[in-house]
Amino acid sequence: MTFGPIINAVETFGFIVLGFVAAVAGPQPEHSRAGWVALAKGGFTIPNGRTAVAMLIEMNTLLESPDPVLRDDVAFSAAERWILREHRLSPPDLRTVLQLWTRNCGG
């Protein structure tokens, strides 16, 4: 028996739930360039009521931005800090962003 389809279904469900939670989690950070830059300059402090995984999902579109500040200094730097240095994502959270980023690459 293979568990691949079951695992994929669970990961997809988790992604949907995380998206819903992010949508109703309270105040959203400012979506302007200035808001994202302020987040980076503030040391990537996650706003109250938010999670690192929800913030990374929200930053997903910044990963393809032609603006190197938004792409590199904000999105990639936040991912590096929260995933590699601070270990803020659980294994299911990591699978969620991996799945999202794989889709970004056409996978």
Q: What's the whole-number average pLDDT of the chain?
A: 82
Radius of gyration of the chain (CA): 14
pLDDT of 9 reads 53
pLDDT at residue 11 tops 60: no
pLDDT of 44 reads 97
Q: How confident is the model at residue 35 (pLDDT cuts 50, 70, 90)?
A: very high
pLDDT of 4 reads 54
Contacts of 2 (CB under 8 A, 6+ apart): none
Contact criterion met (CB below 8 Å) for 22 and 54: yes
